[in-house]
Amino acid sequence: MQIDEKLLDKLAIGEVNALLEGLDDPELRRNPAFLAKVREFLKQNKLQTTPETQGVQKIQKVVEEIPTFDLDGQVS
């Protein structure tokens, strides 16, 4: 089955736009299921972030500040 490339491009653009709109939504961008879909989209399309990607350094800093909890609920 052959699908017109213009139609495929339109579908791909729609998917990208939907993901971007979701990332702009304060509630949706904190939803683990939605973020999993974003990560899957990036993986499927072989898109990778690097330390130079805008926002990555901020995420790394925040992650470093998250305390580690042991099995007894003690913070280390």
Query: pTM for this one?
Result: 0.63
Residue ranges of domains in the chain: 5-50
Residues in the chain: 76
**DSSP line for the chain:** ----HHHHHHHHHHHHHHHHHHHHSTTGGG-HHHHHHHHHHHHHTT----TTSTTHHHHHHHHHHSPPB-TTS-B-
Q: What is the pLDDT along the chain (76 residues), one digit of tens a residue?
A: 798 999 999 999 999 999 999 999 999 988 999 999 998 998 998 888 787 888 778 777 777 777 777 777 666 6
